[in-house]
A and B are shown apart, each in its own frame.
Chain A
Amino acid sequence: MPLEIMIKIQIDGKEYEVEPKKNLLETCLALGFDIPHFCFHAALGSVGACRLCAVKKFRNAEDTKGKIVMSCMEPVVEGLIISTDDEETKQFRAAVIEGLMTNHPHDCPICDEGGECHLQDMTVMTGHNYRRFDFKKRTFQNQNIGPFIHHEMNRCIECYRCVRFYRDYAGGKDLNVFASRNNVYFGRLEDGTLENEFSGNLVEVCPTGVFTDKTLKNHYTRKWDLSNAPSVCTHCSLGCNIIASERYDSLRRIMSRYNGEVNGYFICDRGRFGYEFVNDEKRIRKAEIRSGKTEILTEVDDSTLFSTLKDTFTANKKVIGIGSPRASLEANYALSVLVGSYNFYHGISTKEQDITKTVLNFLQQSGIPTPSLKQIEKADAVLILGEDLVNTAPMMALAVREASRNKGKEMAEKLGIPAWNAHPVMQVAQDAKSPIFIATPFKDSLDEVAETTFRGNLSDIAGLGFAVASALSAEAPTFKLTDKDQQSLAEKIALKLKNANNPVIISGINCGDEQLIRAACNIATALYSAEKKGVLSMVLPESNSMGLAYLEGKSLDDAISLTEKEEIDTLIVLENDLYRRATSTSVEQLFDRCKQVIVLDQLTNKMTLKADIVVPAATFAEAEGTLVNNEGRAQRYYKTIVNKNQVKESWRWLAEMIRIKTDSPSVQWKKFDDITSALIASNAAFAALKNYFSDADFRMLNEKIPRQPLRYSGRTSMHANVAVTETGIQPDIDSPLAFTMEGSHANPPSSLVPFYWSPGWNSVQAVNKYLDEPNGRMKGGDAGIKLIISVENAKTTYFKANIQPVELTKGEFLIVPVYQIFGSDEMSSAASTLSQRIPEPFVYLNPKDAEALKLEADELIQLEIDNTILKIKIRTEASIGLGMAGLSVNLPEMPFVDLPGRGKIYNMKVES
């Protein structure tokens, strides 16, 4: 792409070189000017509704009078002359705020937005301070809009940001604007839970306190009192960046942390509200040891634990370790060092491990790039094969939604309307969308942006994929579908992908079908070899599935079959509830054949209740760690809570165990940097990490980066009830961050930003001060480093299509997994508020099949699959094919079922 030619504009008498095609407001914000604004949001564009971002524009150098314009609606053009601090403009802005404040209630002390309120900031910035309006304030009734968000409508200033985000950006349906003039009301038609998966972002999008975080309300803390750390979301494979905040030793809230390549300004509700498990009663905070063969686990102190471990390791020879795709790279590596890589097992099924490896190998060797979410947002054609993005990778679904609007932006650009001019772009676009094709077994909410959806079983979808690949390139294995409509659909998809500039292929391994992955890879290969374009994105099941694939190890099934052959002395399980990954009989067999089981985990579960030694592991909020997301981007999270009781990072426990086991000082991992350097040395693939992440010795202006804002209160009092003598700052040997407010408050490197604040900008809008430009990159580059580097001139190889026709016996159904945004992730399901949104386990069944079985909706059925019998409710779902059923998986109460598979469904009324 040719570089944009920079143009010259004049602001306050000084000349600047700026990028064209932007609006004046974002240009000014990028240049560091404090222009007050409300309705403009870089991700949502401009609508010019609030009239606050006024600046004065002059016709030419001789013009002294000028005219007031709204900077968000003003394109930057060569020779533009403006003034931001003109007296008349300042008065204008103050008058706008004064108008907005006439109805704003006297709420700040009890408002959750207070202290991080965009309206407060703007009021101070414009200088309005005295109420001259003598009349009464308008009031509204609030609504109960569910467990996540609190609604306080009196505080509204009618900027329309909420509906623009919720409806226009996130595709929500149940939030809208009602009434007219100064009575406009933002809410639902009636009380009820906000349905959209991204509703939590309203908290950050709303410039006042209309929408606030209800989970924060349970333990409310002002922004200035929170101690924060840069963190990475652990609830799916995308690795969205988050800010985790602590006060009085409990995790208070999660906010999104900007990453221009990954999540941008937003995160999904699972990521935002899934944090409560960290504070849960089920947390393991003390080490426990089973005495003899009794049922009782007794809490022990460190010295007893260590002496028991010493006895264990001296007496026992055969020790194996099971890692986890939800534990950090460092923890998994430490375990593999403890037991030896030959005895290290990945803790995922053979099938999952094989597919993950196929994906990783393909991405490493094919030379086909894998896109970031930002690149997906820029796509002009998308093909989704088999993956239910809304539920397995929600932020990717949001990126696809954004991509669907690119067509409209392109149409508008032809008419000379810039992409930031949100409303005209929508008017021009009407229903026009970028070509998006979704091939999944059943419908989801993303279907509405699709040009065509394809429904079928996983083999049908894989077949479609192979047909598309075959249509794209003659080199690809020839594959024609027998169904004429399907074949013409495949050809249409191939054509649209070919004609697009930035086509994106999305698939994932959550549906557990390797043929499907191969089909997606073939499409990407065909597209790339023929057209030199196209990228492939693969969704993985868990936060560190990709990182785990980099480590050498066998699968969980291998461990189980090993115990069938021989008895194991000690089994160490790292942060992994095996009951979610294998049938309970095989897990119990594993337990029986191991003399001693050591479990490191955060929450009490079936595993920890059966273990002989339970070791309390730190969560993401209490530890440092590296996670590798689905695009192979390594990102680091830092602790925000000082570890209390016996809770320690898993890698630290394992390092301790290595010391006990080997009894030699050869491995001495005292601090986080020690283990990361060992990790980097262990595998050439991690070499890139070395220079990227700042080590604990990193200093800014000779000081560590403070986790707490300058206003942090209560230092000499918060622990005074325990001891009035102050203990001082808790040391942090693991990171360049410090548990204090003292230190350099200058902008730290992007991977180390603990919170957003800038003088005059207390709200989340302060993020603009950390960016090159609104919606652009973080200053100094976005956080995270890609471990997958596309190889040049890779050899083109295709997978063979191997599609077996599906033949079902009578009464048999093809069972596919159905994931739920709330419930299918292990840790977030333990969050008390989020768990209210988890549905009861269910089976999707085509209404015709249900009728044939004489079943009605919500009726209990008996499902037989692989010797597992489930009594479960059915949900009739017209989009699922005949002879197919979708089973909700990974929900807290669901036993493990190996899917996709075949099962039988019985009507219990008939049976009884």
Chain B
Amino acid sequence: MFSILRTIWLTFLHIFHKTETIEYPEVKPYLPPRYRGRIVLTRDADHNERCVACNLCAAACPVDCISLQATEDETGRRYPEFFRINFSRCIFCGFCEEACPTYAIQLIPDFEMAEYDRQNMVYEKEHLLIDGEGKYHGYNFHKEAGVDMGVKGKGEGKNEETPVDVKDLMP
């Protein structure tokens, strides 16, 4: 008996609480920055594509909804020739973001992706690539890697010595 009255009382008190329900779509909900919504491809601080087409996101994807093809520019810098995500299959698990070694692929707090036609859920690179760095600022993979891809020369990376002179006899 007491528990029933207590429940009625607690429910009654809710009349005076702040409402949790919001008037979507007139009012937008707050989503934290790390919310796993729409997937984007970001650029580095030099405004170049961060994606190096390593295929790790595609390999990590549990529903196999990412496909891409690597290609190279004249400096040898690798980038995706096409990058396709089939959002009608995506489960927004964020594994692709976790797998990405360059912070290129990121999930953002945007979930409004509904479409009438399923074909429109297929996003190509032009739909995915944004102009900014997304959540992670300052990282440029090409400065860390040992390969010369037009960003830095051999031995000019953060953690590199100048290239060995093969003809040098000094110990």
Which residues on A are within 8 Å of B, measured CB to CB?
105-111, 114-115, 136-142, 152, 154-155, 178-181, 183, 185, 187, 217, 219-222, 224-225, 248, 711-718, 720-721, 723-725
Contact = CB atoms under 8 A, between A and B. Distances in A.
Interface string B45-67: 00000001111101101011111
Given A107-B146, A720-B86, 11 more contacts: A109-B102, A109-B141, A115-B59, A137-B146, A220-B78, A222-B59, A225-B55, A714-B65, A714-B68, A717-B86, A724-B119
B89 A716 contact: yes
A155 B154 contact: no
Contacts of A720: 67, 84, 86, 122
A138 B53 CA distance: 26
A711 B163 contact: no
Judged by DSSP, the binding face of B is loop
B149 interface: yes
Nearest to A185: B166
Given A139-B146, A139-B155, A711-B59, A716 B64 contact: yes
Contact of A724 (B102, B118, B160, B164): B118
Given A714-B66, A717-B85, A109 B54 contact: yes
A777 B56 CA distance: 35
Interface string B147-170: 111000011010111111011110
B24 to A, nearest CB: 27
A221 B59 CA distance: 12
A716 B159 contact: no
A139 B163 contact: yes
Which of A180, A711, A713 has the largest count of B CB atoms less than 10 A from its CB? Answer: A713
Contacts of B144: 106
Contacts, number: 141
Contacts of A716: 63-65, 86, 89
A713 B54 contact: no
B59 A154 contact: no
B163 A140 contact: yes
B140 interface: no
Interface residues of B, number: 53
Contacts of A115: 55, 59
Contacts of B67: 713-714, 717-718, 720
Contact of A139 (B58, B85, B164, B171): B164
A110 B166 contact: no
Which of B121, B157, B166 has the largest count of A CB atoms less than 10 A from its CB? Answer: B166
B145 A107 contact: yes
A36 B72 CA distance: 34
Contacts of B131: none
Given A714-B58, A720-B86, A724-B119, A110 B163 contact: no
Contacts of A136: 159-161
A138 B164 contact: yes
Given A225-B58, A720-B86, A724-B122, A713 B160 contact: no
Nearest to B60: A713
7 contacts: A110-B54, A115-B55, A137-B160, A139-B161, A716-B64, A716-B86, A717-B85
B30 to A, nearest CB: 32
Task: Return the 10 tightest CB-CB contacts between A and B, nearest first.
Answer: A105-B146, A714-B67, A109-B54, A713-B58, A154-B146, A717-B67, A715-B64, A718-B67, A139-B155, A717-B86
Which of A717, A721, A723 has the largest count of B CB atoms less than 10 A from its CB? Answer: A717
A723 B164 contact: no
Contact of A110 (B52, B68, B85): B52
Contacts of B147: 105, 107, 110-111, 152, 154
Interface in B76-134: 78, 82, 84-86, 88-89, 101-102, 118-119, 121-122, 124
B70 interface: yes
B101 A179 contact: no
Contacts of B157: 137, 139
Contact of B164 (A109, A185, A715): A185
B49 to A, nearest CB: 13
B70 A220 contact: yes
A178 B167 CA distance: 8
Given A109-B101, A717-B66, A139 B61 contact: no
B64 A717 contact: yes
A249 to B, nearest CB: 12
A723 B119 contact: yes
A137 B64 contact: no
